[in-house]
Structure 1
Amino acid sequence: MIDHQQNKDTTSLPYSVFRADWVRENESKGARHIGVSLYQLMERAGEAAFALCRRLYPDARRWLILCGHGNNGGDGYVIARCAKQYGIEITIISGTGDSPLPAEAQQARENWLNNYGQIFPHDAVWPLNCDLIIDGLLGTGINSAPREPYASLINQANQYPAPVVSLDIPSGLDANTGIAHGEVVYASQTLTFVALKSGLLTGQARDVVGKLYYNSLGLSRWLAEQKPQLQRLTVDCLNQWIKPRRPCSHKGDHGKLLFIGGDTGTGGAIRMAGEAALRTGAGLVRVLTRVEHIAGMLAARPELMVQPLEQGTLAAAIDWADVIAIGPGLGQSDWGRLAIEQVSGSDKPMLWDADALNLLAITADKRQNRIITPHPGEAARLLQCSVEQIESDRLHSAMELVRRYGGTVVLKGAGTVIADESGVLAIADVGNPGMASGGMGDILSGIIASLLGQGLPLLDSALAGCVVHGVAADRIALRQGERGMLATDLLSEIPGLVNP
């Protein structure tokens, strides 16, 4: 029953992403469109999950299936039936609820009870020898901390030594925001159905989803006719933005970029941003920084044009540049504030990062010719809230940043979110924990600014830049591991990604 969209890895996940509440409200329309009932859709889900579990764990002979009081529990009963017919030993433990089971889940439960075996209550003693757990406790409708008995069942699943496969979403994870409001299942794998949900790609998702798989249950053609709420970005998207160069092009065709930053002690930040721009294909890169950084910067990367940041050099450089990037290592002293004041009057395409954002939080200037690239802490200052509020709904936070500051927003983090004033919302499904080290944001600034200088619009520069940045880090992690990754390690990988 697994259709052609069943994945063997995350590269074959769909690019269209939907809110979970939209899927719940509309999947019945999809079922009618292809002429099946919701119960038949549930059977497809259970059969697809059974097939995946058999493929992933062919030697597992004793399965523990946790069934909640909703349709995820119904999927679990279908899996139990399939596994029982295959000769697998099944134990089902069921949660309780205050309302009747949905009709489809009730039908699946009765089918199991009448034909195959028993169901144990939530407080039953768990078997000691099961070698696979199926998590069908809580579905995509949860938006608060799990209550008892679900919280206890989730904790037991996390402590049990067997791997866990979650159905649709790890129980306890908010399928819209990717936030766990309380206890949450730490899945080894998650198989999501019908559509890819936004909460599987950002927030805490990477901590708890495990390897993500997808099955459309036969609704892929219907889903293709629907308008997604956001886009998923991977390396396969790069060719839509980055095209071959004209044979007769010259350096002036590929952008004159101005980078401003590198206060005392932070010259490396602006140097990394400038070199990343060169590696991404910028024609000319000028850096304005503290005078004490100039000699070392030129010795390390002579292709950069480096001058001291002074009022005269700044005015001339702004007039010269096609694109301005300000912030890496800028600091918040009068030296940096002078630069911000002069740059703010330009209508050229710009990128603001790091301390430029901390200064922006004071002025609250809104404009359409700018990309801002905050991490959650900077975003919290920009929106005058806590980091926890930013992370509680990263998609909403990105849209709110756009509303207040205009232009294009890159909200960095696990599952970087990109948004702009046209309503586009995207998640970069790239990157890894090795990127949690100093300087990574400076490299991203250089990549995005370089793409701006090569003629991409603000939004496309942000989308493509985030993908290049994350995939470069993924390739390094594949080769050498995540720990010990340096921001400058990405520089050698960038050219291979920006040449189609």
Structure 2
Amino acid sequence: MTDHKKNADLLSLPYSVYDAQWLRQWESSAANAAGVSLYQLMLRAGSAAYRFASWHYPFSRHWLVLAGKGNNGGDAYVVARLAAAAGKRVQVIACGDDDSVDRGQPAYQARQEWRASGGDILPADAPWPADIEVIIDGLLGTGLQNAAREPYAGLIQQANRHLAPVISLDIPSGLHAQTGAAAGEVINASVTVTFIALKPGLLTGKARRVVGQLHYDDLGLEEWLHSQPPALERLTAPQLTRWLKPRDPCSHKGDNGRLLIVGGDTGLSGAIRMTGEAALRTGAGLVRVLTREENMAALLTARPELMVESLTEDSLGNGLEWADIIVIGPGLGQSDWGKNALHQVNLSDKPMLWDADALNMLAITPGKRHNRIITPHPGEAARLLGRSVAEVESDRLHSARELAERYGGVVVLKGAGTLIADHRAALAVADVGNAGMASGGMGDLLSGIIGGLLAQRLSLYDAACAGCVVHGAAADALAAEKGTRGMLATDLLPALFPFVNPEHIA
């Protein structure tokens, strides 16, 4: 295989994601299954990282390699040796002396081979050269559980202040491989090259800020890995064809579902309008909105394809009987008007989605049901779980699983690296979206997208997965064209077309 072909392969990320602790426990067994030693595996990792660093920065001549005491540091020594052999000027700064590295581990062998090749190892407090062009981060790997301590923390800070790009080996130092959280200092990588398998902490939480461009090499363990069950699934736009098929030419609006949306209290009509229009743009056949009477004219003027009525006990009863799917929460408020509507909706056994103030009221009066999707952002999730936002974000995977266990059905935990979980232990991460989505109304849009997909007879879990991907992929397409700052929720509406019709994606 040529280097060009190998580099092209590394650009493609897998869809299976594996538990980080499980990977550490089974790495030795995987190497045995492939007929290689752990040191040979380290040589493969260092070689893959070197190829990628050279590919990204082909004209760089001066590399600084930061090496820790463990196997992550061993990978870094391999990179250093290969770079020096290629004629680059390489300096290695390491945490700890020879006596601090376990002589029975492959990292020690990699360190000694770097020395044998003529390389020097400088202490952690050594001054940095002025003309560094690339920094290799091999300080801390996937075994990190707590905040980085000195001298690691100081080296991480220094790397982050430097103008040179940083390439992290396996994971940015300081980032938790399972949760995507960082208890202390964390490397802000330009590129991360991860090995053997994707870990959850590379795809959610703070990872979205610090991982940079993510690449992957299975180190020749693909066959073994495919025989193991992944912990969760990574979702991207190319997978939309699995859920969204071309429509039957003979279909009519009744075939595409009847969706009832309830919300839009006084001053909050925009939320319900965006939810309704998103459902239509996603392909729902008929969308009926029940809202405050004073909102009706504005909604019908803005989007005449919506059926809009005043929310009363009678209209809600009729709507619940008419509908195939129910969405409640956008702009609902927490007055008696909204509370009464939620109480009536809660009596239905039809598939439904709860968002926004419906979730705030659910937190006050918890209930478990399996015909429902809930779509909390971290603040709403914190209220539903009775803990702080920081606690929710410190382990988003655990938070999503706990929400599904406590409230039933399907949970969409929104945020950087949105997670989708169900009460039967399915778990996925939507590897789409960008910072432009941090603006009002995006959640209302998502509720309408998922509701529209539910109306087209997707299961709760599939609708949640597909809806999150459609939502984030449309935002990514818009950001690629115009940038992230100033992106409005309604800007996404025309951008939905290719993603809800994925057969047309180029």
TM-score range, shorter chain: over 0.9
User: In structure 1, what residue type is equivalent to 2:448?
Assistant: G
The 5-angstrom pairing of residues 198-213 of structure 1 reads 198-213=200-215
CA–CA separation in structure 2 for the residues paired with 1:224 and 1:100: 32
Residue in 1 that maps onto 2:410: 408
The DSSP-based 3-state class of the residue aligned with 1:443 is helix
**Whole-angstrom distance in 1 between the partners of 2:492 and 2:168:** 34
CA shift digits 1:69-106 (9 cap, x unpaired) = 00011011111111111111110000128662552010
Counterparts of 1:110-189 in structure 2, within 5 Å, are 110-189=112-191
The residue identity in structure 2 corresponding to 1:380 is A
**Unaligned runs of at least 5 residues, structure 1:** none
Per-residue CA deviations over 1:373-402 (Å, capped at 9, x if unaligned) read 000000000001000010000000000001
Answer yes or no: is 1:40 the counterpart of 2:44. Answer: no
Which structure 2 residues correspond to residues 80-479 of structure 1 after superposition, within 5 A? 80-96=80-96, 100=102, 103-479=105-481
Number of equivalences:
499
Over aligned residues, Cα RMSD in angstroms? Answer: 1.4
Letter in 2 for 1:82: L
1:328–1:354 contact (8 Å) kept in structure 2: yes
CA contact (8 A) 1:154 1:171 kept: yes
Residue 7 and residue 178 in structure 1: after superposition, are their counterparts in 2 closer, same or farther (change >3 A)? farther
Distance in 2 (CA, whole Å) between partners of 1:159 and 1:486 is: 33
**Residue type at the aligned position of 2:490:** T
The TM-score normalised by the length of structure 2 is: 0.97
User: Which position in structure 1 is the counterpart of 2:61?
Assistant: 61
Give the equivalent residue in structure 2 for 1:51. Answer: 51
Verify the 8 A CA contact 1:5 1:215 in the aligned structure 2. Answer: no
CA distance in 2, matches of 1:173, 1:229: 19
Q: SS of the residue aligned with 1:196?
A: coil
Query: So what's the TM-score if we normalise by structure 1?
Result: 0.98
CA distance change for structure 1 residues 102 and 232 in 2, over 3 Å: closer, same or farther? farther
Can you list the C-alpha shifts for 1:257-285, whole angstroms capped at 9, x where unaligned?
00000001110100100000000000000
Deviation at 1:5, TM superposition (A): 6.7
Distance of 1:136 and 1:377 partners within structure 2: 35
The code of the aligned residue for 2:49 comes to A
Q: Which runs of 5+ in 2 are unaligned?
A: none
The residue type equivalent to 1:55 in the other structure is: W
AA of the residue aligned to 1:36: V
The aligned counterpart of 2:75 is 75
Q: Percent same amino acid among aligned pairs?
A: 62
Structure-1 separation of matches of 2:215 and 2:8:
6
TM-superposed CA distance for 1:418, in Å, is 0.2
One-letter code of the match for 2:368?
K
In structure 2, C-alpha distance between the alignment counterparts of 1:480 and 1:114, rounded to whole Å: 52
Q: In structure 2, what is the Cα distance between the partners aligned to 1:128 and 1:490?
A: 45
**CA deviation after TM superposition for structure 1 residue 32, in Å:** 1.3
Task: Provide the C-alpha distance between the structure 1 equivalents of 2:103 and 2:409, rounded to a whole number of angstroms.
Answer: 47
Q: Which runs of 4+ in 1 moved over 2 A?
A: 1-10, 96-102
Q: For the residues of structure 2 that align with 1:106 and 1:175, how far apart are their CA atoms?
A: 23
Deviation at 1:427, TM superposition (A): 0.3
Which moves more between the two structures, 92-101 or 77-86? 92-101
Cα distance in 2 for residues equivalent to 1:394 and 1:13 = 22
Q: Do 2:261 and 2:287's aligned partners in 1 also have CA atoms closer than 8 Å?
A: yes
SS at match of 2:373: strand
1:24 aligns with 2:10: no
SS in structure 2 opposite 1:140? coil
* TM-aligned CA distance change 1:21 to 1:35, over 3 Å: same
1:37-72 CA distances to partner (integer Å, 9 max, x unpaired)?
A: 111110011111111111111111010000000001
Cα displacement (A) at 1:230: 0.3
- Give, in angstroms, the shift of residue 241 of structure 1: 0.8
Summarize deviations over 1:414-437 as a string: whole Å, max 9, x none: 000000011111000000000000
Distance 2:399 2:293 in 1: 38
Give SS of 2:121's match: coil
CA contact 1:7–1:13 (8 Å) conserved in 2: no
Report if aligned partners of 2:103, 2:109 keep a CA contact under 8 Å in 1.
Answer: no
C-alpha contact (below 8 Å) 1:6/1:215 kept by paired residues: no
- Mapped to 2, the partners of 1:101 and 1:279 lie a distance apart of 62
Give the Cα separation in 1 of the matches to 2:44 and 2:433.
33
Per the TM alignment, residue 129 of structure 1 is displaced from its structure 2 partner at its CA by 1.2
| CA shift in 2, pair 1:20/1:437, >3 Å | same
Cα separation, 1, equivalents of 2:104 and 2:186: 23
Whole-Å separation in 2 of the counterparts to 1:8 and 1:197:
18
Deviation at 1:495, TM superposition (A): 2.1
- Between the aligned partners of 2:304 and 2:327, the Cα distance in structure 1 is 19
